């Protein structure tokens, strides 16, 4: 694999990495703002702790030489622990320990949060003794040089979305070739979301087109569909948030789009969602890894269906999900599993919203239950 062929979309390596480190070090205010956005700063002690963290980050930047070190020492060592401490009551994970630590995988997960989904997967991989992964990130999130540097220093793979249709297709082929070769030839894991956008409605459905592109990128080499799937060793992953900090934002966007059609987002909208997703209260979060897809697969639809089956069965159903399902269906099927849950407090979360927005948000919590039940049918 010639990584130079993919230099513009691959994470920073070599001199590109060191040049980006130098740029980030020249922007301590940016580092301070990033840590401040996910920290509690109500007391003088907390503010002093933030200042110490900034200096700690700057000292680590003097020492890291590749994105794996950046991920382990900064993302997993500083940024994510800060986020977990301030917005997650309990973070757990399962399944990664059963994977072969010497093997690279294509992790395909549900997509609820723009940034956190993959970051939490990396934390779980690190805690389970697995190699960390590169992560596919849309270029619409690379708002400026600082954010671009942070993503690409952290193993970010650029997904070029802001292109005309034909150019986008060509770049999708190229990205898919990078993913296949990265895993099968360079033995490096990578994460992609199961579809291009977040699941605003709580229905985690894999896009077969993503799977199909993996094969199309290799077809000229005479590699069969089934061989490609074997090469990339797909592992489905379910990331389950007890509370979605941007549930109301998602519901409003979806209801608005349904009424007047899709519109192009302004840049600041994604940045607001990223900020709220990182800092907002998430309650408990669980990340569950499935088993690598094996055996012959004939179509991308078959692969997508198996990814969905695993994600739906692995999803950790919280009281928020179970109560919303019973509430909307007028049942008490799962009442014993949310006996101590503040149901009224949860409903007040959506107080004052338009009826259709409230309904959409509640259904987004209930839908993982429906998806789980479909796996048992």
Q: What is the mean pLDDT of residues 295-314?
A: 96
193-229 burial: b if 16+ Cβ within 10 Å, else e: bbbeebbbebebbbbbebbbbbbbbbeeeebebbebb
Please check the confidence at residue 313 and state whether its pLDDT lies above 70.
yes
Provide the percentage of residues in the chain whose pLDDT is more than 90. 84
β-partners of residue 93 are: 287
User: Are the CB atoms for 149 and 23 separated by under 8 Å?
Assistant: yes
Cα separation, 275 vs 245, in Å, equals: 10
Q: What is the mean pLDDT of residues 214-224?
A: 93
Class of domain 3-316: alpha beta
Mean of the per-residue pLDDT values of the chain: 94
**What is the enclosing helix (H) or strand (E) of 157?**
strand 156-159
Q: Which has more pLDDT, 61 or 40?
A: 61
Residue 284's φ and ψ, nearest 5 degrees, are -90, 145
* Range list for CATH 3.40.1130 in the chain: 3-316
Please check the confidence at residue 216 and state whether its pLDDT lies above 80.
yes
Q: What is the pLDDT of residue 350?
A: 97
Q: What is the pLDDT of residue 196?
A: 83
| Burial of 244: CB neighbours in 10 Å, binned 0-12, 13-18, 19+ | buried
Q: What is the pLDDT of residue 139?
A: 87
Task: Tell me which residue of 114, 166, 164 sits closest to 142, measured CA to CA.
Answer: 114
The string of pLDDT tens digits covering residues 253-300 is 999 888 877 656 665 677 778 889 999 999 999 999 999 998 789 999
The string of pLDDT tens digits covering residues 338-355 is 999 999 999 999 999 999
- CB within 8 Å of 155: residues ≥ 6 apart: 11, 67, 68, 70, 71, 132, 133, 134, 135
The string of pLDDT tens digits covering residues 137-165 is 988 888 889 999 999 999 999 999 888 88
The string of pLDDT tens digits covering residues 37-49 is 988 888 999 999 9
CA atoms within 13 A on the CB side of 112: 32
Please check the confidence at residue 74 and state whether its pLDDT lies above 70.
yes
Please check the confidence at residue 245 and state whether its pLDDT lies above 70.
yes
Quote the DSSP letter at residue 5: G
pLDDT band (50, 70, 90) for residue 65: very high
Q: What is the pLDDT of residue 11?
A: 97
Q: How many residues in total does the chain contain? A: 377
Q: What is the pLDDT of residue 305?
A: 97
Kindly give the pairing relationship between strand 189-193 and strand 283-289.
unpaired
Please check the confidence at residue 166 and state whether its pLDDT lies above 60.
yes
Asked which of 23-27, 112-116, 361-365 is least confident by mean pLDDT, the reply is 112-116
Q: What is the pLDDT of residue 198?
A: 87
pLDDT band (50, 70, 90) for residue 109: very high
Please check the confidence at residue 77 and state whether its pLDDT lies above 70.
yes
Kindly give the pairing relationship between strand 106-109 and strand 234-241.
parallel
Q: What is the pLDDT of residue 264?
A: 63
Q: What is the pLDDT of residue 156?
A: 96
């Amino acid at each position: 694999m010639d990584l130079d062929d993919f230099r513009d979309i691959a994470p920073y390596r070599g001199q590109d990495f060191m040049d980006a480190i130098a740029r980030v070090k020249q922007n301590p205010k940016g580092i301070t703002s990033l840590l401040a956005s996910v920290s509690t700063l109500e007391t003088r002690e907390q503010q002093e702790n933030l200042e110490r963290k900034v200096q700690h980050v700057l000292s680590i930047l003097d020492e890291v030489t590749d994105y794996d070190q950046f991920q382990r020492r900064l993302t997993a060592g500083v940024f994510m622990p800060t986020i977990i401490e301030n917005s997650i009551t309990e973070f757990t994970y399962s399944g990664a320990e059963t994977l072969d630590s010497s093997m690279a995988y294509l992790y395909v997960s549900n997509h609820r949060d723009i940034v956190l989904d993959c970051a939490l997967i990396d934390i779980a991989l690190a805690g389970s003794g697995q190699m960390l992964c590169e992560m596919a990130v849309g270029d619409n999130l690379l708002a400026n040089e600082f954010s671009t540097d942070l993503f690409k220093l952290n193993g970010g793979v650029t997904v070029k979305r802001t292109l005309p249709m034909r150019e986008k297709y060509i770049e999708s082929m190229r990205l898919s070739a990078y993913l296949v070769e990265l895993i099968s030839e360079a033995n490096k894991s990578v994460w992609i979301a199961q579809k291009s956008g977040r699941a605003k409605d709580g229905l985690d459905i894999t896009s077969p087109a993503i799977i199909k592109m993996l094969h199309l990128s290799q077809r000229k080499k005479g590699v069969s569909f089934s061989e490609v799937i074997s090469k990339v060793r797909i592992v489905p992953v379910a990331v389950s948030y007890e509370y979605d900090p941007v549930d109301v934002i998602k519901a409003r966007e979806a209801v608005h789009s349904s009424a007047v059609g899709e519109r192009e987002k302004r840049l600041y909208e994604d940045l607001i969602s990223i900020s709220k997703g990182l800092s907002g209260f998430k309650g408990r979060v669980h990340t569950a890894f499935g088993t690598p897809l094996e055996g012959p697969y004939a179509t991308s639809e078959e692969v997508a269906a198996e990814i969905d089956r695993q994600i739906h069965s692995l999803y950790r159903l919280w009281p928020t999900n179970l109560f919303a399902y019973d509430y909307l269906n007028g049942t008490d099927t799962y009442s014993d599993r949310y006996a101590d849950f503040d149901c009224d407090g949860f409903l007040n979360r959506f107080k004052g919203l338009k009826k259709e927005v409230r309904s959409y948000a509640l259904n987004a919590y209930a839908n993982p239950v429906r998806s789980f039940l479909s796996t048992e049918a």
